[in-house]
Amino acid sequence: HERHAIPNKSLKSSKDATPSRFVADHYNSKVEVGVERRRESTIIFLRSFNNWIKSVLIGKYVTRDGHALDMGCGKGGDLLKWNKANIKSLVGLDIAEVSIEDARKRWSDMKGRRFDAMFNVMDCFSSNISDVIPRDTVFDIVSMQFCLHYSFETEEKARITLNNVTSNLKSGGIFIGTVPDANWIVKKLKSLPKDQLKFENSIYSIRFEQKDNYPPFGHKYWFYLKDAINDCPEYLVHFPTFQKLASQYGLELVYKKRFHDLYNEVKEEPHYRELLYSMRVIDKRNEEEMSDDEWEATGMYIGFAFRKK
């Protein structure tokens, strides 16, 4: 089942390109390895865990027959989750052309598909969503999984993003997502010896360029995640700043949990327990779970939900 991404010609020069071009090229150049290969990688439990978290969030907040927008949808890794949640339609947007092609193909090849979808290449942090969707589109739910932090490069980008999230979201509609927890990251950074700017384990590394200034936007660090993200620039999302900004777009926080807390909160509930086994977060045969290093890496994320007033 191996498929290879189309080689991206602009990759060579991408280090010099704009940050969003750099990020797009990074995701474009990732090779689609297929389910079997993924399970051999050393972060299989972490990947499964992140998928499980997203399933929980989607399951908690999606309404049947809803219209969904997935911003930064990537290769469409959440398509099965949307199908299971019985949505009526999906708009998937991402800046990485190759990922959008993959998502579109995955959707059209999907067995037992029950929803309509359209996929578009778009820089969701710089341009307006009305360029790609009809003006009268109304979403019940907007999802941004593991991508909002790229928009915290500047306040302007964060605002454009939130405008895109909310402009077609119905009142009472939900905005869900997952982001790294700036508090957790900064605590780690501050606990380092004076002149050190990097911390890591065998799964991930985070490297800052300085630790004297803590600007609300554009606080850059370099992130590496084994077999997934190869030293990509990311930006801290200080949650209170995000929440305050979001409130200016009519968004009210209804849920915020660190992944570990979310896990502990629902893992014994029969439905979610079954999902932990079926999504292979826990190996049912021997109750094996992820390694300590994977667990530490998953601990840096937060799942959230806002409701539009």
Q: Site residues (CB under 6 A) for ligand SAM? A: 20, 23-24, 27, 72-74, 77, 94-96, 99, 123-125, 145-147, 150
- C-alpha R_g of the chain: 19
The distance of closest approach from Cβ of residue 309 to ligand SAM in the complex, given in angstroms and rounded to an integer, is 26
How far apart are alpha carbons 309 and 302 in whole angstroms?
Answer: 22
Q: What is the largest CA-CA distance in the chain?
A: 56
Indicate the residue among 27 and 249 with the shorter CB distance to ligand SAM: 27
For residue 61, what are its two tokens? 């907040």
In the complex with ligand SAM, which residue's Cβ is closer, 20 or 168? 20
Residue whose structure tokens are 């992140």: 50
Q: Which is nearer to ligand SAM, 23 or 142 (CB)?
A: 23
Q: Which is nearer to ligand SAM, 122 or 251 (CB)?
A: 122
Q: What stretch of H or E contains 234?
A: strand 229-235
The least distance separating ligand SAM from the CB of residue 199, rounded to whole angstroms, comes to: 20
Q: Smallest Cα–Cα separation from 118: which of 139, 104, 131, 130?
A: 104
CB 50, min distance to ligand SAM, A:
7
Closer residue to ligand SAM, CB minimum distance, 287 or 304: 304
Nearer to ligand SAM, 73 or 141 (CB): 73
What's the min distance (Å) between Cβ of 141 and ligand SAM? 14
Choice between 94 and 294, CB closer to ligand SAM? 94
Q: Which two tokens stand for residue 219?
A: 């606080």
At its nearest, how many Å lie between ligand SAM and the CB of residue 269?
A: 23
- Which of 210, 206, 236 is closest to 223 using CA atoms? 206
Considering the complex, what minimum distance in angstroms separates the CB of residue 286 from ligand SAM? 28
Indicate the burial class of 6 (C-beta count within 10 angstroms; 0-12, 13-18, 19 or more): exposed
Q: Which two tokens stand for residue 225?
A: 């995640």
- Spatial separation of the C-alpha atoms in residues 294 and 169, rounded to whole Å: 35
CA distance linking residue 127 with residue 167, whole number of Å: 13
Helices (H), 110-258: 155-167, 182-190, 239-247
Residue among 101 and 211 whose Cβ is closer to ligand SAM: 101
CB of 289 to ligand SAM, least distance (A): 21
7 vs 14: CA distance, rounded Å: 13
The helix (run of H) or strand (run of E) holding residue 79 is helix 79-84
Q: How far is the CB of 150 from ligand SAM (least distance, A)?
A: 4
10 Å Cβ neighbour count for 96? Answer: 24
Which residue's beta carbon is nearest to the bound ligand SAM? Answer: 74
Name 205's bridge partners. 200, 224
